[in-house]
Amino acid sequence: MVEIKKIACLGVGLMGQGIAQVSLMAGYDVVLVDIKDEFVDNAYEGINAGIKKVESKGGLGEGVTSADIMTKCSKSIDLASAVKEVDMIIEAVIEKMEVKKAVCKTTMDNGPDHIIFASNTSTMSITEIGKDSGKPAQVCGIHFFNPVPLMRCIEVIKGASTSDETFNTAIEVAGRLPCLRGKRYIAPVLKDRPGFIVNRMNAPVQIYMNYIFDKAAEQGIPWEQIDADAGDLMPMGPTELADYVGLDTMFHVGNYYAETLSPDFKPGKVLIKMVDECNLGRKTGKGFHDWSQGRPKIDKSKKAGIFNLENTMAILLNEGCRILEEGVASGFKIIDDANMAGMNTPGPFGAGKKNYAQWAELLEKLADETGKDYLRPCELMKSGGFTKMRK
């Protein structure tokens, strides 16, 4: 295994800051890298505030202070020189393949021979990112969930060219990163397929949500009533969660899945309009809801009656079965556990073991109603064959 002492966090927006914070808290030296001084300066302040908050609750351990930890944090706006003495880089730059490939190549051209490049991409091919870097065996995925310090799941992805040494080192590093809420959960992703495990399983829910958003817009139904339909079973209702993740992210990801999985993933009218108007959710202060004063208080007293959570469970089960069919995860327990650790919501297999036949019928109806054939149940779901694939 490669010995990791110093980590570069490249792209220090919200996610990059979270990654840097937990890396520092794990005891690694960290260099924050971005393209402008103000970005790395802001990130440094945000990370410092986060670590101070943990300190104020006595969460840093005996004799460890936030000031000690922050001495291990440096800043750079030049990737090529920043990676010279780094053992691993975790990138969280914009979700554009050409940018990911370029930073991977710069890292491999300038970093030490043993450097590992880990991408925090939500969906993209790790194999493609590393392909032209000169050292594809040293490229893997380490995919976090927002907010990184609070969400337990980290997926570690093996690309087609990733060596066992790189993969095992990444699993080891990820396992050391603390989580402020409960125990870290590391999900090994054995095949480089779009969206990996958690995002992939949840992806086709967006096909359904785009349909619901557009239907609500056509019928003049207020957004909060969709979240009211979800009740308290989701920690954030669908429109709040969309704002939280970022509507631009959903838009780009939808287009990516439209190219890689099925055209049914193309973003709907509402999403396209919001992105066009630059109302991207929490990050711009406005999306479905107003975030200018912090997390919106959503009035869930009136339901729309158009969003059915059972449909989403059926969609999740179907996609979870496709993940098993493709060999991305070895068994359904990992998929359910990763979903709980990455989204704080139960995965579909527990309830799906009993309900798959009825849910398969729901999906046939939903595919007819929406005109989206991707929602039709796959063989492994319809047959219940997945019930024998626990581990």
Q: Which is nearer to ligand 3HC, 200 or 286 (CB)?
A: 200
Choose the binding region for ligand 3HC from 86-94, 140-148, 281-289, 382-390 (rule: CB under 6 A). Answer: 140-148
Site size for ligand 3HC, by CB under 6 A?
A: 20
Residue 160 contacts ligand 3HC per CB under 6 A: no
41-100: contacts with ligand 3HC (CB under 6 A): 50, 53-54
Q: Which amino acid is at 39?
A: F
Choose the binding region for ligand 3HC from 62-70, 101-109, 143-151, 350-358 (rule: CB under 6 A). Answer: 143-151
Q: Is 314 helix (H, G, I), strand (E, B) or coil?
A: helix
Residue 133 contacts ligand 3HC per CB under 6 A: no
Q: Which is nearer to ligand 3HC, 119 or 166 (CB)?
A: 119
| CB 93 within 8 Å of CB 11 | yes
Q: Distances in Å between the alpha carbon of 85 and those of 80, 129, 330?
A: 10, 22, 36
Say which of 76, 91, 128, 155 is annotated catalytic. Answer: 155
Q: Which is nearer to ligand 3HC, 221 or 250 (CB)?
A: 250
Judge whether 91 counts as a catalytic residue: no
Sequence-distant contacts of 62-71: CB under 8 A, at least 24 apart: 69/24, 69/25, 70/24
Closest separation between CB of residue 365 and ligand 3HC, Å? 27
Residue 149 contacts ligand 3HC per CB under 6 A: yes
- Encoded tokens for 60: 């840093």
Helices (H) and strands (E) in the chain, counts: 16, 8
Choose the binding region for ligand 3HC from 35-43, 78-86, 147-155, 330-338 (rule: CB under 6 A). Answer: 147-155
Among 126, 86, 131, 135, residue whose Cα is nearest residue 108: 135
Of these, 66, 76, 107, 122, which contacts ligand 3HC (CB under 6 A)?
A: 122
Q: Which is nearer to ligand 3HC, 83 or 203 (CB)?
A: 203
Q: Distances in Å between the alpha carbon of 289 and those of 160, 269, 342, 354?
A: 41, 17, 23, 37
Q: How far apart are CA 119 and CA 77, in angstroms?
A: 19
